[in-house]
Amino acid sequence: MMRMKAIQITEYGDVGCLRLAEDAKIPQPTDEEVLIKVDYAGVNFIDVYYRKGIYAGNLFPLTLGQEGMGTITQVGNHVTSFKVGDRVVFLMGGSGSYAEFATAHKDKLLKIPDDIEATTATALGIQGLTAHYLTHDTYRLQAGNVALIHAAAGGTGQLLTQMAKASQATVIATVSNEDKRNLALAAGADHVIIYKDYQFLAELKTLLSGDLVDVVYDAIGQATFEQSINSLKPRGMLVMYGQASGKVPPFEILTLSQKGSLFLTRPTLLHYMLTESERSNRARDLFTMIRNQNLNVKIDKVFPLTEAAAAQSYLEARKTMGKILLKIATS
């Protein structure tokens, strides 16, 4: 049986539990899956959640990675929309993208047009699609809206900011340092708050002369939750799409009523890609934005597969200024 290299865990924990398996089994696709020779894997906080056991994975050893890009080498018996040789981005599920080969379900694939570069396509996977559904569906931004975007200098944050500005919303971004401030401004933010210890509410109110925002896009979680709630106008929406600082503890639901009949949602990309039409429409929008130069995808760092631990440490340290990738293919 042919073997491959893969980054796996055999227990939950810190980055020390990541190990390079030199002789992992190459996974075999089911009837509704394809096998992909992986070129790049995206590094995302969801990978950290699986590593720590916040999200339950399959049986150990577990190959990490929820996003990747490569070329299809084998198709299952029930796969008709893809063929061997297709360049694809694959998302969420399958056998894990931190590996030389990975399987993915036919409903979690996006075909990459020839004019879209491999690294750009990978970066438009989870982060690009997430920014799209958040701004187009979860809370559909339009002219006159005021949006607060946390972690605006990260990969998703920069894309979110650009799409928010394309909708003619006013964007207030939060970041942790001056370099990230410049990135948020370059992405189109109208105002940028450099917070210390995640404190931003007082400066937000000063910027808005005491007014509040229509929507908060929050991927930080526990550290920002209370102030994010307090940043909203009556009937405003808090969109908690991540938890980089930890889980939000239980809270009294009556709080939403007391603070202005607020809306709170915890969306995930999977539920915004339920049909082939929805998947293809989102991908088409993103590729069109790239072609028209209406969306700038910033690749921050590309680590080799062997440095997956360093890549995740860099992500967890909140040093990112764009997309983090692992380069899998060696030739």
Largest Cα separation within the chain, whole Å, is 67
Domains in the chain, start-ordered, CATH in brackets? 3-112+298-327 (3.90.180.10), 130-270 (3.40.50.720)
**What distance in Å separates the CA atoms of residue 87 and residue 283, rounded to the nearest whole number?**
14
Q: What is the DSSP string of 167-181?
A: TT-EEEEEESSHHHH
pLDDT attached to residue 1: 53
Q: Which two tokens stand for residue 158?
A: 């920069």
Distance CA 14, CA 25 (A): 24
45-52 vs 308-316: helix axis angle to the nearest 10?
A: 100
The pLDDT score that the predictor gives to residue 73 is 98
Q: Where are the alpha helices (DSSP H) in 147-305?
A: 155-166, 178-186, 201-207, 225-229, 254-258, 276-291
Concatenate the DSSP letters of all residues of 113-152 into one string: PTTS-HHHHHHIIIIIHHHHHIIIIIT---TT-EEEESST
Three-state DSSP state, 263: strand
131-144 burial, b for 16+ CB within 10 Å, e for fewer? bbbbbbebbebeee
37/221 Cα distance (integer angstroms): 35
Residue whose pair of structure tokens reads 């993208």 in the numeric block: 97
Tokens of 96: 């894990």
C-alpha 152/C-alpha 170 separation (Å) is 14
- The DSSP result for 183-222, as a single string, is HHHHTT-SEEEE-BTTB-HHHHHHHTTT--EEEEEE-S-T
The residue among 222, 299, 199, 302 whose CA lies nearest residue 54 is 222
Which stretches in the chain have pLDDT values below 70?
1, 331
Q: What is the pLDDT of residue 331?
A: 58
Alpha carbons 191 and 151: distance in angstroms, whole number? 13
- Dihedral angle, C-alpha 193, 322, 223, 214, nearest 10 °: 60
Angle (CA) 278-284-288 rounded to 5° is: 150
Q: How far apart are CA 110 and CA 92, in angstroms?
A: 12
In residues, how long is the chain? 331
Q: Which amino acid is located at 195 in the chain?
A: Y
Q: Provide the H-helix boundaries in 27-77.
A: 45-52
DSSP letter assigned to residue 41? E
Helix, strand, coil percentages for the chain (3-state, nearest 5): 30, 30, 40
Tens of pLDDT along 263-286? 999 999 999 999 999 999 999 999
- The pLDDT, as a whole number, for residue 121 is 97
